[in-house]
Every structure is written in structure tokens, then in C-alpha cells.
Structure 1
Amino acid sequence: MTLADCGRVSEIRIRGWQSAYRGLMPQPYLDALSVAEDSERRRARFHGGDTRVVNLVAERDGEIVGWAAHGPYRDGEVRTSDSELYAIYIDPAHVGSGIGRALLEEAVQQCAPMHARMFLWVLEENVRARRFYERAGFRADGAEEPFDVDGVAVPEVRYVKDLTS
């Protein structure tokens, strides 16, 4: 990902939230998400130069259609020796076309030489995403985390994949 990609990545991320989380999060919260604000934050992080976070983009016919980010697993404020898939979002018009699978496979491939496991967090009620991760070899490990969106509990569950096999 380059600095020039930040705007499109933010658009994919926000539209992805609004599409994937409809009915799982309060609609006013989803409606209020701003591509411009997300893009500004993304550019600031990009300028911050955190080399621990790897941002991947997927292109089709010269257009960015997907984004994923991975790095060290975050246990609170502590980074561990495991890896974490922080995010993966696909332009809603391209969901189901194999782009998500390709991004996930690339993230796993990049992490496998350096990490024994990859973790990720997914909304408990996001059945489609959970099936996607399970088909890719991830399994829920029993950890749960509360996530509050505008006063509504939206719990997340943790998934893990062994990268040593």
C-alpha cells in the first residue's frame, strides 16, 4: 500500500463496515462513518511509519478492490511473538470473487516464516466472516472480547491458525 492508496482503502473499509455489519451494529453508527475522516487517520498513520503493520492491497484492472493489514498480535498494549490479522475488507461489489481469500493467503504466507500462530478478532454474530475464516483453517479458541458501539454490546470472538504446519 502506498500513501496514494489511503483514500481508496478508507472507502473500501467504511463501505465494508456498512455492508458487512448492517444489522450487527447500530445503523446510525454505521451511517455516520466518514470516508474522509478515516482517510485522514490512515494518512497520519502512514506518515507515522509504523513498520510493524503490513498493509496489503488487491487490485483488479488497475483499481484497488481489497485491503488487509497484519502485524504483531496485540495483547492489550503489549505486542507478542504471534501475528494478528488486524483487518481485511473487500469492495462490496467484489465480495465472493476470491479477493479476500487471496489477501488472507498472502497475509498468512508473509507471517508464517516469523510467527507460530496468527490470531484475528471477528464479530460473534458475523456468520459469513466466521465461515470464511474457518474455511481458511482458522478456529475459534474460546476467547471473547466485549465491544461497545454506541451503548450496544457487539461481542467479538478470537480465531487462531497454527502457521507451523
Structure 2
Amino acid sequence: MDRQPPHIRPMTLADCGRISEIRIRGWQSAYRGLMPQPYLDALSVSEDAERRRARFRDGDDRVVNLVAEQDGEIVGWAAHGPYRDGEVRTSDAELYAIYIDPTHLGNGIGQALLEKSVSQCAPVHARMFLWVLKDNARARRFYERAGFRADGAEEPFDAGGVAVPEVRYVQDLTR
């Protein structure tokens, strides 16, 4: 059976619980073996949802949260906004997150969310950055197929006291 392409729409407050479930289950699936297992095991969907709801209510209109729906179910989430250089926001864009329900990987949902984020950023930003775990080969291939390239920047992500290297990717949005 051919699936319909996902419907991409803005996230609502009511979506926060499902987005947290996708995000946490996504971390626990995609980062197994890349981050300390106790760190991944300690991640809590309910705590993440509580933080997400508070951030959503407080609102930062510069951050765009998108959800992907397929067959009436939320199956993915992406967030983008101004590039974060420490506490400084720049004129470039950043893809902060993109997560797909692990049972829906490989169905074009990530690609649809990424394309929507890029298309929303292209009219107002010259470049889009993102950070990805250095050893996450699957994610790196995904971004490279979409036209992103590693630019040589690398920073550690603190995963429960363990430094996990991330690399920065960039795409020129002016082409």
C-alpha cells in the first residue's frame, strides 16, 4: 500500500506529549551505543513533556516547531530558528532538532520535515547549520544527501558527564 506523504503543520501545545515521546524514544533508539546507556535510560518522556509545555507556553516566536502527521498520527517533529552561537543569536538559521518515531523511519518523514524547515528559512537566512553526533553515521548520511556538509567545527555534548563529540553541518540557502 502506498502511503500518503506526511502532512507538515505547526506544533500546538496539545502535541507536546507526543513530541516528547518521539524525541525520547528517538534518542534511546538512535543514540544506543553512541551515548552512555545509563544516560539514555534515565531520559523521561513525562519530564521532557513538562519542560516542552513550559517552553511552548513561554513562547519564543523565533523558534518554529513543526510536526509531521501521517494517517492521523503525529510521527515526527522538527524545530528550527536562529543559529545559536553560545548565548548569541546570529543571522543564520539552525535546525535544532528533527526526530521521527522509530517505527516510521525510512518513510520520507524526516526528508519532508527537513525540506519544510529549509524552505521556511531560505527566504530570510543565507545559511542553515545543524549539529549531529560525530559517530551517528545514519544521520550524517541523511543530512549529506540533503545537501548539508560538515564544516570542520566540533564540540562535545555532555551526556551525563561523558563528552560525546558533535560535528557541525552547514547548507548554503542562497542557491
TM surpasses 0.5: yes
Pairing partner for 1:37 from 34, 47, 55: 47
1: CA distance, partners of 2:15 / 2:162: 32
**2-structure distance, mates of 1:86, 1:131:** 18
Q: Which one of 80, 87, 94 corresponds to residue 90 of structure 2?
A: 80
Confirm or deny that 1:61 pairs with 2:61.
no
Confirm or deny that 1:96 pairs with 2:106. yes
User: Which residue of 1 is the match for residue 154 of structure 2?
Assistant: 144
- Code of the aligned partner of 2:135: E
The DSSP-based 3-state class of the residue aligned with 1:154 is strand
2:38 matched residue in structure 1 = 28
Unaligned runs of 5+ in 2: 1-10
1:70 equivalent to 2:80? Answer yes
The secondary structure found in structure 1 opposite 2:24 is helix
Give CA-to-partner distance per residue, 1:51-89, whole Å, 9 cap, x none. Answer: 010000000011100000000000000000000000000
Q: Distance in 2 between matches of 1:40 and 1:150?
A: 20
Deviation of 1:101 (Å):
0.3
- Aligned equivalent of 1:133: 143
Amino-acid identity (%): 86
Deviation at 1:147, TM superposition (A): 1.5
Q: Secondary structure at the match of 2:35?
A: coil
1:117 and 2:127 matched:
yes
- SS for the counterpart of 1:147 is strand
What secondary structure is seen at the aligned counterpart in 2 of 1:38? helix
CA distance in 2 between counterparts of 1:151 and 1:49 reads: 30
Q: What CA distance in whole angstroms lies between the structure 2 residues aligned with 1:97 and 1:55? A: 20
Cα distance in 2 for residues equivalent to 1:67 and 1:122: 16
Moved segments of 4+, more than 3 Å: none
TM-score (norm 1): 0.99
TM-score, normalization by structure 2:
0.93
Q: Unpaired segments of 5 or more residues in structure 1?
A: none
Instruction: Say which SS state the counterpart of residue 99 (structure 2) adopts.
Output: strand
